[in-house]
């Protein structure tokens, strides 16, 4: 969207913070509608705390859908507990559409990570949408209430325009993606799969639309995620009095094993997504890094290229499974030999690695039978989603139309999203965020979370066009 369409903002004196606050002027009706939704969502506390309530946000959006003409039977607000309801909305396709075409599902989560006002800058309240110096500030502005807004705005706009897709489109705004006890997409899959069953899913909370120093770099479509797993490393001993130490010390056993693990690197393994990532983004790197990208894409066993790339935590995480110690405890008294020593090791596994493979590798590297290795919690791995050429083509067409043809790149996220549960459930999922973010200004989950105002409005238009392109034939 052309930035020239925005008329200059005016400033007024703010008695509370003595700052100049930009007020929206000259917005199109669609932009104003999107801004109103964004503001409403940001200002509803949806944290997993006594003050948070996802249901309030779900009901607020449901009211907007009903007002736009969606039948009551196509708007569902439901969930396992009173304050953790999800919203599922269906836009029906043409009666003459191909019956074999299953719906397309679009998802975003409504919950956000806790934010304390005293931790933010004095002029900012995490649960108030503040527009300042070309940015929107507030908890969830980038994770992921902008995605909620893109989807709600697009579905309502398409309904009001009387547009009918070639197949059913489903929107699901869910609870507890950010770590609560009632994950919405899991609950819907287990209890109401008929409401969200689809040929594939588009997830606004994954992938990367990257900018750096004001330059747009790429559209990253997420096709897979590394799988999260925690392992408990534990050594037990009979202990004794510290005045008569023995060599068989639980802490020493564990420490020596952890040192061996720290020195170990899992083997490099590229998949369809990561190989394509290195091939397609080489031209965006400096000459030396570009050469290493091309070398490792051609030969993952190129030790020199791998060694150089592995110095970057991000590139290293793209190349291999990683395991790192994150917590440590041991002993029970200052004057007693330890009877137990424990460590948590957090692993982010490539989609091709199994839990058993990683567990066996850790045991081998520790090289000490006294150290037991057990899985913590539920760690079901998710498969990667195969590249979808038709989806890539739609993104490439929009890139040419909107962004000058910057490359569309498949990416593997090193973190986790609700796409994991859909992939486990047999629904291929692709992360398409819609809004550009600066790679050097990552604030999700942190202080003064923000999104560029122009990036927000361009994301609104992108998703409207993207949805129409996917189901417009």
- Calculate what percentage of the chain has a pLDDT beyond 70: 93
Does residue 311 share a domain with residue 431?
no
Domain membership of residue 214 (yes or no) is no
**In angstroms, rounded to a whole number, what is the distance separating the alpha carbons of residues 107 and 463?**
12
- Give the mean pLDDT of 51-55: 97
| Cβ-Cβ contacts under 8 Å for 228 (sequence gap 6 or more) | 346, 347, 348, 349, 379, 416
- What's the token pair of residue 34? 């999107």
Query: What pLDDT is stored for residue 14 in this prediction?
Result: 33
Supply angle C-alpha 448, 455, 443, rounded to 5. Answer: 25
- 161 with 252, same domain: the answer is no
One domain for residues 92 and 179: yes
Does 121 reside within a domain?
yes
Given the structure tokens 């799988």, which residue do they identify? 227
Please say which residue of 376, 392, 427 terminates a domain: 376
**Domain extent at residue 366:** 227-376
The pLDDT tens digits of the residues spanning 348-376 come to 999 999 999 999 999 999 999 999 999 99
**CA 106 from centroid of its chain's CA atoms:** 14
Specify the range with the lowest mean pLDDT, choosing from 91-95, 191-195, 389-393, 430-434.
91-95
Q: Do 348 and 448 reside in the same domain of the chain?
A: no
Of 343, 376, 409, which closes a domain?
376
Return all residues near 302 (Cβ < 8 A) that are at least 6 apart: 295, 296
Which whole-number Å values give the CA distances from 133 to 19, 160, 450, 454, in the listed order? 10, 33, 11, 11
Residues 250, 168 share a domain: no
The per-residue pLDDT of the chain, averaged, comes to 92
Summarize pLDDT for 1-29 with one digit per residue, the tens: 333 333 333 332 232 333 333 445 689 99
Structure tokens at 241: 């009095």
Q: Are residues 160 and 267 in the same domain?
A: no
| Domain assignment present for 211 | no
Q: How many domains does the chain have?
A: 2
Low-confidence winner among 8-17, 20-29, 192-201, 462-471 (lowest mean pLDDT): 8-17
Q: Based on the domain organization, do 231 and 293 belong to the same domain?
A: yes
In this structure, the answer to whether residues 81 and 192 fall within a common structural domain is yes
Instruction: Give yes or no: residues 132 and 237 share one domain.
Output: no
In-domain check, residue 215: no
The CATH number covering residue 323 comes to 3.30.70.360
355, 376, 397 - which closes a domain: 376
Residues 181 and 323 in one domain: no
263 and 328 inside one domain: yes
43: CATH: 3.40.630.10
Using an 8 Å Cβ cutoff, are 122 and 56 in contact?
no
* Domain-embedded: residue 361: yes
Residue 399 within a domain: no
Q: Looking at the structure, do residues 231 and 185 belong to the same domain, yes or no? A: no
The answer to whether residue 389 sits within a structural domain is no
pLDDT tens track for 55-70: 999 999 999 999 999 9
Q: What is the pLDDT of residues 83-130, one digit of tens each?
A: 999 999 999 998 766 656 899 999 999 999 999 999 999 999 999 999
Pairing of strands 75-78, 200-203: unpaired
- Asked whether residue 358 is domain-assigned, the answer is yes
- Quote the pTM value: 0.89
- Per the DSSP assignment, residues forming a β-bridge with 429 are 201
Say what the pLDDT of residue 11 is: 34
């Amino acid at each position: 969207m052309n930035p020239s369409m925005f008329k200059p903002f005016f400033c007024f004196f703010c008695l509370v913070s003595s700052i100049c606050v930009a007020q929206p002027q000259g917005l199109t009706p669609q932009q104003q509608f999107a801004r109103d939704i964004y503001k409403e969502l940001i200002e509803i506390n949806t944290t997993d705390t006594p003050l948070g309530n996802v249901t309030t946000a779900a009901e607020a959006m449901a009211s907007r859908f009903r007002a736009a003409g969606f039948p009551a039977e196509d708007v569902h607000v439901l969930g396992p507990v009173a304050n953790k309801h999800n919203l599922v909305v269906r836009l029906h396709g043409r009666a003459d559409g191909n019956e074999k075409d299953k719906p397309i599902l679009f998802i975003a989560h409504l919950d956000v990570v806790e934010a304390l006002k005293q931790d933010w800058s004095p002029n900012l309240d995490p649960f108030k949408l503040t527009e300042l110096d070309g940015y929107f500030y507030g908890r969830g502005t980038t994770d992921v209430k902008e995605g909620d807004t893109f989807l709600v705005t697009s579905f309502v706009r398409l309904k009001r325009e009387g547009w009918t897709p070639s197949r059913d489109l489903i929107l699901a705004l869910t609870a507890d993606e950010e770590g609560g006890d009632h994950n919405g997409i899991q609950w819907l899959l287990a209890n109401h799969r008929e409401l969200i069953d689809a040929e594939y899913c588009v997830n606004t909370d994954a992938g990367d639309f990257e900018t750096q120093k004001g330059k747009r770099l790429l559209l990253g479509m997420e096709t897979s995620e590394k799988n999260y797993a925690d392992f408990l490393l534990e050594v037990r001993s009979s202990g004794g009095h510290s005045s008569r130490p023995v060599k068989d010390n639980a802490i020493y056993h564990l420490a020596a094993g952890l040192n061996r693990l720290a020195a170990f690197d899992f083997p490099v393994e590229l998949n369809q997504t990561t190989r394509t990532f290195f091939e397609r983004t080489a031209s965006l790197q400096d000459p030396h890094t570009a050469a290493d990208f091309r070398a490792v894409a051609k030969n993952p066993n190129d030790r020199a290229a791998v060694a150089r790339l592995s110095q970057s935590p991000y590139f290293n995480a793209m190349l291999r499974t990683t395991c790192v110690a994150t917590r440590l405890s041991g002993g029970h008294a200052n004057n007693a030999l330890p009877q137990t020593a424990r460590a948590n090791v957090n692993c982010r596994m490539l989609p091709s690695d199994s839990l058993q493979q990683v567990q066996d590798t850790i045991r081998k590297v520790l090289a000490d039978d006294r150290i037991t290795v057990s899985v913590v919690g539920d760690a079901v791995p998710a498969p990667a989603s195969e590249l979808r050429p038709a989806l890539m083509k739609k993104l490439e067409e929009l890139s040419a139309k909107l962004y000058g043809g910057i490359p569309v790149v498949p990416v593997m996220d090193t973190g986790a999203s609700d796409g994991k549960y859909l992939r486990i459930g047999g629904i291929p999922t692709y992360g398409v965020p819609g809004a550009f973010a600066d790679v050097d200004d990552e604030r999700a989950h942190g202080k003064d979370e923000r999104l560029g105002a122009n990036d927000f409005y361009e994301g609104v238009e992108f998703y409207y066009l993207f949805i129409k392109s996917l189901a417009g034939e």
